[in-house]
Amino acid sequence: MKLYNIKDHSEVVSFAQAVRQGLGRDQGLFFPSEIGKLDHIDDLLKLNLVDRSEKILRAFLGDELPDLAGILKRAFTFPAPLVKVSENTYALELFHGPTLAFKDFGGRFMAQALQAVSDGRHITILTATSGDTGAAVAHAFYGLEGIDVVILYPKGKISNLQEKLFCTLGGNIRTVSVNGTFDDCQALVKKAFDDQEVKTSIGLNSANSINISRLLAQICYYFEAYAQLPEDRRKNVVVSVPSGNFGDITAGLLAKAAGLPISRFVISTNANDTVPRYLASGVWDPRETVPTLSNAMDVSRPNNWPRVEELFKVMNWKLSDLAYGALNDDQTRDAMCELYKTGYVGEPHGTIAWKALQNNLAEDETGIFLCTAAPAKFKENVDAILGTDIELPEALASRAKMPVLSDNMDPDWNALRRYLLKK
Ligand SMILES: *Cc1c(COP(=O)(O)O)cnc(C)c1O
C-alpha cells in the first residue's frame, strides 16, 4: 500500500511508515494512492466481521501486514450489532468494546498494526488525555510485548469512573496524574517529542487519532452494518455519523469509495459546527470551541477534514451531496427524550446523529445512525435528562472496585524526563 502526503504529493510512504510516523512533512496527512476496490459485495456480506474485514483491508494493504488475519482476530473481539429503532431506522452500536466507545475498533487495530511493523524496536506511547482517549489507548496496548504506554492526565479533573477505567491495568500501562490542567499535560507531551534524546532512546510514538491505521479499521464496521440490514432494506441507505475530528466519517466515505452501496451520508455535529456552516455557505470559518454535552465532538478545527476533501476530489464526488445537521445542547436533550419515547436509550453523541438523520431521511430511504459510545459512559447526564437509572456494564462495574495505580507528578518537564528515561 502506498500513501501520499496531502500537502506534498511527492512524499510517498508505505503503510508501515505511515503507521510509525503518523504525519508527513508540514504536518500533512497521509492518503491512500489507490482506494481498494471490492467487487462481489454480496459474497463479502455473508462473511463474519473478522473474515470480511480481512478481505476489505487486503484490498487496501496489498501484501503489507502478512498476519492481517491474526491482527484482526485479536483487535475485533467484540460485536457491532445493528439495532432496529423504527420501521426505517437502525442504530449501529459501536460501543461493545472494553472502553465502551467506537474508538476501541481503531485503537486496538492500530496497536496490533504498530507492533507488527515495529521490527522489534522498543516503542513508548506517550499521550495526554482529558478522559476518553487515554482509556482506549491503554486498553488497546495493554499486554503488547515491546510497547510501553505512559498516559498523563490532570489530577482531579476527570471523573472517578474514567480514572478507574484506565488507571487500574498495570503491566505495560503506566498512568501519571499531573498536578495541573489538561493543557499542562499536553505541553509536557510536546516537550518530550521535542527532545531528540528522549525520542530516540525510548522510541517515542503518539498513537494519535490521525493515524491511517485507525481509519482502515473503521471502514470495516460500515460493511458490518450493511450486512446486518434485512435484504429488503438494502436500497437507498443513508448513514448519519456523529462527527468531531471527522475520522469516523472519512472511514465511511472510504467504504463507499471501495464499493459499499451507501447512497449518501449525513454529517452530524453539536454546536461546534464548522463543517455544516462550511457546507451551507462555502466559507471555512472555525469559531472558538464551546463545551457541550457531546464533549467528544467538541472540535472546531477537525483534523481529518482535508482527507474528506481529498477523497471527494479523487472520486469526482460533489461536496454538495453531503447532508448535514447540527444540534445545540437544548436540542440534544429534546432529541434524547424523543428517541427514548421510541424505546431506545441514547447518549448525546449518537442521539445527535439520530436526530440529524430524522431531519434528512426521505420515505423511500433506510437510515443508519452510528452510536459511538455506551449510554453508561455518560450515565450522569443520561439519567438526569431521561430520568433513568442505567446500569453500569460489567466491564465498568468491576473496574470501579479496583485500586488506582497511578503515579503523581508536578507539571515539570525534568521530572517527566527522568521518569521516562528511568523506565
Ligand atoms: C471521538 C468520538 C466522536 C467523534 O469521532 P470523530 O472520528 O473524531 O469524528 C464521536 N462520538 C464519540 C463518543 C467519540 O468518542
2, part of any domain: no
User: What's the CA gap between 173 and 151, in Å, rounded?
Assistant: 8
CA distance 134 to 132: 5
Q: What is the pLDDT of residue 410?
A: 97
- CA gap 179, 66 in Å, rounded: 44
- Which spans in 177-304 are helix H? 182-194, 196-202, 212-228, 247-258, 274-281
| In a domain? residue 333 | yes
As given in the structure block, the three cell numbers for residue 316 are 469526482
Residue 48, in any domain of the structure: no
CA dihedral 136, 300, 155, 133 (to 10 degrees): 0
Q: How far is the CA of 251 from the centre of ligand 1 (A)?
A: 12
pLDDT in tens, 375-413: 998 998 999 999 999 998 888 889 989 999 999 999 999
User: Positive or negative, the Cα torsion across 41, 308, 208, 169?
Assistant: negative
**Are 17 and 2 in contact, with CB atoms under 8 Å apart?**
no
Kindly report the number of other CB atoms within 10 A of residue 404's CB atom: 12
Q: Identify the CA nearest to 29 among candidates 311, 384, 243.
A: 311
Residue 256 confidence (pLDDT): 98
**Rounded Cα–Cα distance for residues 110 and 72 (Å):** 10
In a domain, 301, yes or no: yes
Count, in order, helices (H) and strands (E) of the chain.
18, 14
Model confidence band, residue 21 (pLDDT cutoffs 50, 70, 90): confident
Residue 70 three-state SS: helix
| 245 close to ligand 1 (CB < 6 Angstrom) | yes
Using the predicted structure, report yes or no on whether residue 206 has a pLDDT greater than 90.
no
Position with higher pLDDT, 298 vs 130: 298
Mean of the per-residue pLDDT values of the chain: 95
Task: Tell me the CA–centroid distance for residue 374 and ligand 1, in Å.
Answer: 12
Q: What is the pTM of this model?
A: 0.94
pLDDT tens digits for 290-346? 999 998 899 998 999 999 999 999 999 999 999 999 999 999 999 999 999 999 999
Tell me if 374 is assigned to some domain: yes
pLDDT at 182 exceeding the cut of 90: no
Q: Write the CATH number for 329.
A: 3.40.50.1100
| 166 vs 48: CA distance, rounded Å | 30
Domain of 293, in residue numbers = 80-98+212-390
CB atoms within 10 A of CB 17: 15
C-alpha distances in Å from residue 20, one per residue of 67, 117, 182, 197, 335: 17, 8, 25, 18, 41
pLDDT class for 267, splitting at 50, 70, 90? very high
Strand partners, 84: 90
Average pLDDT over every residue of 147-173? 92
**How many structural domains is the chain composed of?**
1
If one residue of 132, 248, 253, 371 were mutated to test the ligand 1 pocket, choosing by the most ligand atoms within 8 A of its CB, it would be: 248
Report how far residue 58's alpha carbon sits from residue 72's, in angstroms, rounded to the nearest whole number: 12
| 342-372 tens-digit pLDDT | 999 999 999 999 999 999 999 999 999 999 9
For residue 349, the ligand 1 atom closest to its alpha carbon is: 11
Q: Which residue has the higher pLDDT, 129 or 6?
A: 6
Tell me phi and psi for residue 3, to 5 degrees: -135, 145
Confidence of residue 208 (pLDDT cuts 50, 70, 90): confident
**Ligand 1: residue whose CA is nearest its atom 15:** 296
Identify the active-site residue in 103, 164, 256, 355.
103
Query: Does some domain include residue 292?
Result: yes
How much is the pLDDT for 119? 82
337 is a domain residue? yes
Q: What's the CA-to-centroid distance between 201 and ligand 1, angstroms?
A: 33
401 is catalytic: no
Residue 414 within any structural domain of the chain: no
